[in-house]
Chain A
Amino acid sequence: MSQPRNRRSIWRSLAIFFAALVILVVYAYGLQVTKVDLEKPKEARRQAQLTNIIRGLARPRLFEYEEKRLEIDAPLMMPCNDQVVLPPVDTSGRYIELTPNCVALGGRVTVNGYNFEPGETVFLYFLPRAASIHEQVELRLADAPIEVNPQGQFTYVAEMRKDRPSDEPQAIRAVVKMRSGLPHPSDTLKDTWDKIVETVFLALIATTLGTALAIPISFLGARNLMSNVVSPFGSIMTGLLLAPVGGVVGFRLFSWLKGLGGGLGQRAWPGLGALMVSIAVVWALILLLSRQTRGRFAALRQGGLGLLAALLAVFALGLLATLGIRLGLGLQEVLGPFAFLGNLIFVIADLLAIILPLLGGLMGLFLFVSLGSSLSGRFLRSTRPTTAKAFTAIAATLAGAVLAALLLGGIAWLYEVENPVRFVAVPAAAVGAIMLVISLLVDVQRPVPTGMIVYNITRTILNALRSIEPLIMVVAFAVWVGIGPFAGVMALALHTIAGLGKLYSEQVENILEGPIEAVTATGANRLQTIVYAVIPQIVPPYIAFTIYRWDINVRMSTIIGFGGGGGIGFLVQQNLNLLKYRDASVQMIAIAIVVATLDYASAKVRERIV
């Protein structure tokens, strides 16, 4: 009985011993790798540097005085020349006396100052006067500024130069710099203010963009919403096959419509008229659509009217974008200090013009996929098994081949492959063949969990994106759109999508199932269920998380400039590199104030809402 226990305890001790050994090695290696060197911080040179930095940081350059420069000259002959009589020194105010007042090259002169203010600092210069020098130059005499004693006097023994002889009187000059007037905000403070405003707005725009995109994505990443989305294999394949087609058709169609609207928008009044007319028609169509209709062709009619309304709406948006761009540019010129309002209109309109075709691509893709998969799903259910099998096989083969070809085409372009046709065609055919085999093996009626596939893809992408720090992302964006706040906005927005997407979808997963059940039971469709049962439940946590993210983004935006992303971080980095610690200090104070204020404010808001 005691034997095995004993043995076990020996093993245990050994195991503990080895574990301790391993831990020791890990830490030893860690110290080595991180170059921990306790001697470094003790070196005098480094301590002096540290003192420098701390002193600089302790005296932020918040305010500056206007400086007045007082110059007090005393004549000097070098070398001595009896022919020249030096003028007397005015002793009414501050003055300096030279003994002797003539000296050989390289000789010594004692400079005595009188009537100075105690505690002032004085800089001493030598003013050579030579034919070769046209302007007055000041050559520094003393290495360090001289301090005036409590009696208002100072003495300094100056060693003269050997290279500036002259027949005319030269001079020694004492310079006192005096602050005058009231202190005023320093230039650093003004720059800091500009940049801190930029920083806060950078965070705002990034949070807004990121949130807007994270919300729809979070639904795709919520298990409880996606788990019951299923469809037969054949209809998924049809959807996949139609996806690129829909994307291209949508993109082309929207570009064309936008161009059409844009053409009209070139002239202001006709453009405005056309805009009004098209908005009115779209409105009329929507009213027509909202009527309940029954009958055989009701769905077809509704669909047709809807499509017409959508196309007209795109045309109107294209028109609006062009008009907006023109309006924005115009306002920028006439608004003066409020030109940024014009810029806002310009940016929004420009954004609209850019995203319209992309939106078209997305909508086309979505429409084709959902129509294709639901129609083919119906067909597959109603038709004979052999037909269903054949249909599935064809759809799968084509979908596999087309998607593989597109993907490989992209890779061929990226790596500039030599023979793109062969590089693409052969594997695409192979993928098609594989899909054919798979489609023959699967049960065509059996539903495939599409929702879970989408869920997993979404979560994977979000996790991958989240693991890349915005400070790294911004480097890539700075290369793409140039160094500046725009790159910072994009990097932060992307990271916000990834971060919030996950947090949001977890909130969706946490909501009560009951209301969803109840709304589904009324015969509501999926979208209606989301709007009526999901969204009301997620609004409070979504707001809380958005505020939390806004906090993070403000913090991030203060340093995103280190990576070229604009904002105050850019200034901090610059000043640190130039060893201008007093200026960097101002920026650090600004960052502290902004972060603390927004922290406090958002905590308050969160308390209110949740």
Chain B
Amino acid sequence: MLEVKNLTKIYDNKVLALDNVSFQVEDGQFMAVIGLSGSGKSTLLRCINRLVEPTRGQVIWDGVDITAAPQEDLRLIRRRIGMIFQQFNLVTRASVLTNVLSGRLGYTNPLWSLINYFPKEDVEKAMANLERVGIADKAHSRADELSGGQQQRVGIARALMQDPQILLADEPVASLDPVLAHSIMRILKKLNQEDGISVICSLHFLDLVQQYADRAIALNEGRPVFDGLPREIDDQRFKEIYGRDAERIG
């Protein structure tokens, strides 16, 4: 179980990006994070694996305080938390396989990994994961030769290399067309259901939230304004989350 307690983030430029956010995520849950642009969704996800250092508050995972973990322990925690990104964040000049293998860096012997050597098991695992997301044939292409949807699959395969228990997905489909968006979301849902991986996923489109998420929380200027089932978001709630003038689309 992941527990977020009174999490606050104030950036160096005094922007209050998260304001006293608390919630719990049960193991195996698919939780959506929604909110306007700039409401703090990315900040929240990054505070969980401390890509962004929270200013106050705690993130506790199975009794371990992630926010207090020293650097070396943090690495061990991070390797069980996969992450995928809106911009995919692949190393575009490297091959797909290398990108996927880099998900294994937390586990491999650091010395070997420096010369790009991975054990055979890891390479096999990478191929299996590519197979799982449906692009095994692209293993030896350069990452920037792939389409957006394919790149996001590589991102997922990379996260899977970590044997994650939690998957953080920061607007994973925001730069994809609707068809691709659904295919990526289906992969995430499948991982959630088959492997029991908890998914925390920020999303912009409510229909995606209602179709795939078990639960949604909403942020507005860093403050939590909703926590409940996706179908509970009616027009009234919608206006609370997105502001009075917002119109629903999709």
Contact = CB atoms under 8 A, between A and B. Distances in A.
Given A522-B79, A527-B110, A531-B113, A381 B70 contact: yes
B113 A523 contact: no
A374 B112 CA distance: 22
Nearest to A519: B102
A540 B79 CA distance: 30
Contacts of A123: none
B75 A532 contact: no
Contacts of B92: 515
A224 to B, nearest CB: 14
Interface residues of A, number: 29
Contacts of A528: 105, 110, 113-114
B111 interface: yes
A537 B89 CA distance: 12
A519 B93 CA distance: 15
A88 interface: no
Nearest to A512: B89
B15 interface: no
Interface string A275-301: 000000000001001101000000000
A523 B76 contact: yes
Contacts of A523: 75-80, 105-107, 162
Given A527-B110, A531-B113, A518 B83 contact: yes
A527 B114 contact: yes
A133 interface: no
A207 B198 CA distance: 52
Interface in A492-550: 512, 514-515, 517-525, 527-528, 531-533, 536-537, 539-540
B109 interface: yes
B247 to A, nearest CB: 31
A517 B85 contact: yes
Contacts of B85: 514, 517-518
A426 B51 CA distance: 47
B91 interface: yes
A519 B113 CA distance: 13
Interface in B70-108: 70, 72, 75-83, 85, 87-94, 98, 102-107
B49 interface: yes
B189 interface: no
A377 interface: yes
B155 interface: yes
A522 B158 contact: yes
Contacts of B116: 531
Contacts of B51: 517, 520-521
Interface of B: 46, 49, 51, 70, 72, 75-83, 85, 87-94, 98, 102-107, 109-114, 116, 155, 158-159, 161-162, 168
21 contacts: A292-B109, A381-B70, A514-B85, A517-B46, A517-B51, A518-B85, A518-B102, A519-B91, A519-B102, A521-B78, A521-B83, A522-B82, A522-B104, A524-B75, A524-B106, A528-B114, A531-B113, A532-B102, A533-B91, A536-B91, A536-B94
